[in-house]
Amino acid sequence: MKITRNFKKIAEYEIVPNLYFSENYGVAVYFCLHQIQHEKDVLYYKSWLGKCFKKIYEARKNYTLNRYLERVEPKEHSESYQQFLSFMWNLNLNDLKEIAEFYNQAQ
């Protein structure tokens, strides 16, 4: 049983890196925020937030954000994910830069 728990923990830690390297930055941010809200390995997930927000900032700057952040689809997404997407799409370039710098400095 202990081995199974260890594998589960390892697999959970690989979710965000997998999302990051597959360029699903929006979902990665959402997952990190969820984990932080539940006080799970806060420092680990904050460091990933910095990396993801940096990529989202770069995408917004290069007008390619729609490749990495979904549009709000009310029929396909939960209400909380819709609110998250609306929030993310409403952040301006300077906001994204400040958030990325904040979390990257916190490391």
| Structural domains in the chain (count) | 1
Whether the CA torsion 28, 29, 33, 34 is positive or negative: it is: negative
Nearest-angstrom CA–CA distance, 54 and 25: 10
Which residues span the domain enclosing 12? 2-105
By C-alpha distance, which of 79, 71, 81, 68 is closest to 31? 81
pLDDT tens-digit readout, 79-105: 999 999 999 999 999 999 999 999 998
Take residue 84 and report the two structure tokens written for it: 């998250």
Q: Quick one: DSSP state of residue 107?
A: -
Q: What is the DSSP annotation of 64-86?
A: -GGGTSPPP-TTTS-HHHHHHHH
**Confidence band, pLDDT 50/70/90 cuts, at residue 1:** low
40-88 pLDDT, tens digit per residue, is 889 999 999 999 999 999 999 999 999 999 999 888 999 999 999 999 9
Q: What is the value of pTM for the model shown?
A: 0.88
